[in-house]
Amino acid sequence: MLEPLTWFRQAAIRYAEEGLTVYIDPWGTAPEDPPADVILITHAHFDHFQPGEIERLRTPKTKILAPVDVARDLEGDVTPVVPGHTHEVAGVKVETVPAYNIVEERLDMHPKRNRWVGYVLELGGHTYYHAGDTDALAELETLSPDVAMVPIGGTYTMDWRESSELVKRMQPQIAVPIHYGFVVCSPSHAQLFKKGAAPVRVEVLEPTNPFEQP
């Protein structure tokens, strides 16, 4: 299930298999990376929304899904999205789910009123959840993806402790930590998450870009 995935940095993920290339929050991609059939953006912060990379990866046929405030800054085949809806783009079923903060010191970073999103995608016979930037929300516990890609960095999102508790409630087949080792959070926290999430299976991806945090 993880073979089609590439982690670039922060929350930037690519799924590439069977003639389909999907990017989520592309940041740190290379000029030689393949063009996108689909690009999904979770929210407007710079480490998730890089207009220059989107422009380089897109073609006239690329489908883009983005929250309303991001979509208005993009051109082409762009679908504005809000949480709680299902879309089909390029043959891919995409469900939008909530992504916001509930911890007091983070409330202004990803407020619920912004209606930013995470995504659940059906790809290659499996379901993949990309959380975007969020805290551990009760409404996320009912998701049942095969693969859950969740932030563990803290400061702006849930940390490894909060993420591990969420995935234990969610019970994916595989949990993958993202959003650490770059803007905030030591890469060593991936192993803390792995221990904390047990007995959920955790797989730690290697980013294509070198970690920035000690």
> Which pLDDT score, from 0 to 100, does residue 119 have?
98
What percentage of the chain carries pLDDT values higher than 90? 100
Chain-centre distance for alpha carbon 159: 15
Architecture of domain 5-197: 4-Layer Sandwich (3.60)
pTM summary value: 0.97
Average pLDDT over residues 66-71: 98
Cα distance between residue 32 and residue 30, in whole Å: 5
pLDDT tens-digit series, residues 144-173 = 999 999 999 999 999 999 999 999 999 999
The token pair at 163 is 């993420």
Of the pLDDT bands very low, low, confident and very high (cuts 50, 70, 90), residue 27 is very high
Residue 130's beta-bridge partner residues? 119, 149
* Secondary structure (DSSP) of 127-183: EEEE--S----GGGTT---SEEEEE-B-TTS-BHHHHHHHHHHH--SEEEEES-SSS
Q: Helix 160-170 vs helix 189-197: angle between axes, to the nearest 10 degrees?
A: 30
CB neighbour list of residue 167: distance below 8 Å, 6 or more residues apart: 148, 150, 175, 197, 200, 202
What is residue 55's three-state secondary structure?
helix
pLDDT value for 9 = 98
List, for residues 176-202, the tens digit of each pLDDT value: 999 999 999 999 999 999 999 999 999
pLDDT, tens only, 41-57: 999 999 999 999 999 99
For the chain, the average pLDDT equals 97
Which of these, 56, 61, 24, lies nearest to 39 by C-alpha position? 24
Query: pLDDT tens digits for 88-116?
Result: 999 999 999 999 999 999 999 999 999 99
For the cut 90, the answer to whether the pLDDT of residue 18 exceeds it is: no
